[in-house]
Structure 1
């Protein structure tokens, strides 16, 4: 197996709601499912820098103080760095329609009913947003 792909993702939390993006059905990897905002960590970039860049590129927000959170995934090809984000400037909008066909705020209790890109990560995400739920 080759080198693992480093990914940085953001769990944006506002008023108890979690922002997810719906991956476009034509995407090669994880099509037609809900996921956190994020993407590849570029060469020479640290994961927290990548998550800030991805949030700006994909949803037009400048994030502040991303806090690392654990996230379990089952894809051995990925090295995922997840961050909880509670402070940002701007209102999230879909700036990457070729990647996502929708973005939506969800209550934590709604996440289990969704088709998620990384369902194994759900307990760790829930414990980050609502301790005791995960």
Structure 2
């Protein structure tokens, strides 16, 4: 049995808010919200992949901070999602790839979008810390 391929998601934080991204593909996921990120390439670390993916997908530079406890199956278990909190270092996020809308959500707003099921546990873990968090800055 082949090990599941690792996917890293970024809980991007800025000013006490969490970044949500709305997917455009595949069709089964289009219109649902996620923490942006993507698959690790051979030889990459999870934090390194997160920095690369967010640069490609959103045009921003981030600093990975802390891994969110747990991991979640994606695509019927072919992939496994790990989420890291990340501080926005530079740039303004734009939906360059895979997304058609971005939203910054405050602690009480995280349930205002339709998150993908695998992202929900990490979103709620991060949201529970948004109130007094300084996002490492």
Normalising by structure 1, report the TM-score: 0.81
Report what 2:79 is aligned to: 78
1:77-96 correspondence to structure 2 within 5 Å = 77-96=78-97
Unaligned runs of 5+ in 2: 133-137
1:38-53 correspondence to structure 2 within 5 Å = 38-53=37-52
* TM superposition shift of 1:38: 0.2
Contact 1:71 1:124 in 2 (8 A): no
The C-alpha deviation readout for 1:62-120, integer Å capped at 9, x for no partner, is: 11243222255354333222111124111111211xx1111111112222232111234
Report what 1:123 is aligned to: 124
Contact 1:33 1:115 in 2 (8 A): yes
Report what 2:67 is aligned to: 68
* TM superposition shift of 1:128: 4.3
Contact 2:8 2:38 in 1 (8 A): yes
Contact 1:12 1:84 in 2 (8 A): yes
Contact 2:51 2:64 in 1 (8 A): no
Contact 1:108 1:126 in 2 (8 A): yes
Aligned residue-pair number: 128
Q: In the superposition, relative to structure 1, how do residues 90 and 107 fare at CA in structure 2: closer, same or farther (>3 Å)?
A: same
Contact 1:74 1:120 in 2 (8 A): no
